[in-house]
Chain A
């Protein structure tokens, strides 16, 4: 089993409703008044997701004052990877003292398929009208924290200024999403 072709630049964001680690449901449509929304796939067990983790949270904090909304989603099959179970997600957020945005669990993997998410991390940036403006990696190198998720920041700056990002598409780099059999 694998994902689908998903959405392309300019496409509308697929709607979803998923639970955060505290059980509260979050919808993408809740971002009606946000000038930009970032949806990214991550998980607990993947070294790429862990390497980019702090950088993504830094961007979430840095752009919160400009109204940008962030939603992280874990779609991995928790039977194959218990480290990515909802309970493990909850424990991780607690140990880390809270996250700057919701950490949602996509148990059916329907949301990952609708977006065409492939890896962790895999970043999608939507404008205020819910159209996809950037999709790909946070920056060029998981091993270089000094890059500060620059590709994501470039995309957000463009969207917030009403421009098209210069680099709308990069290849996501990371662990494959662990699909159910």
Chain B
């Protein structure tokens, strides 16, 4: 089974399109087809609660958040605050975190 890759997004936070672009780039880099990515819009607080949505954008690989949210993150219809590896704050995750998560999933798929 190929890794399950999901991008969950909410329209109130504009960075999701850049996140999707980055995700498609990195997925292609590890040999995953673009249609292997599930792009899921979150439209309500109830939907957010049901999916455990910590904010937009959220990328999950095989069900695991590529940068798991901290306990102080409110979740729901909000923009996520990502800490980059250089210490900066951004509405986008660190590309290296994404790449490592995808590479790990592909390796595990090959072994498993």
Chain A interface (Cβ < 8 Å from any Cβ of B) = 45-48, 50-51, 80-83, 142-143, 145, 173-176
Contacts and interface: CB of A to CB of B under 8 A. Distances in A.
Contacts of A174: 14
B79 A175 contact: yes
A175 B76 CA distance: 14
Interface string B21-60: 0000000000000000000000000000000000000000
Contact of B89 (A50, A82, A83): A50
Contacts of B76: 80
B89 A47 contact: yes
Interface of B: 12-15, 74, 76, 78-82, 88-92
A152 B21 CA distance: 29
Tell me what chain B mostly uses at the interface: helix, strand, loop, or mixed: loop
A50 B12 CA distance: 17
B38 to A, nearest CB: 23
A83 B91 contact: no
A83 B89 CA distance: 16
A159 B90 CA distance: 31
A50 B80 CA distance: 11
A47 B82 contact: yes
A83 B74 contact: yes
Nearest to B45: A80
B74 A48 contact: no
Which A-B residue pairs are the 6 nearest by beta carbons? A47-B91, A47-B81, A50-B89, A176-B12, A175-B79, A51-B89
6 contacts: A45-B74, A45-B79, A48-B15, A51-B90, A173-B14, A175-B13
A135 to B, nearest CB: 18
B91 A142 contact: yes
Contacts of A45: 74, 78-79, 81
A136 to B, nearest CB: 14
A142 B90 CA distance: 8
B84 to A, nearest CB: 9
Contacts of B91: 47-48, 51, 142
B91 to A, nearest CB: 4
Contacts of A175: 12-13, 78-79
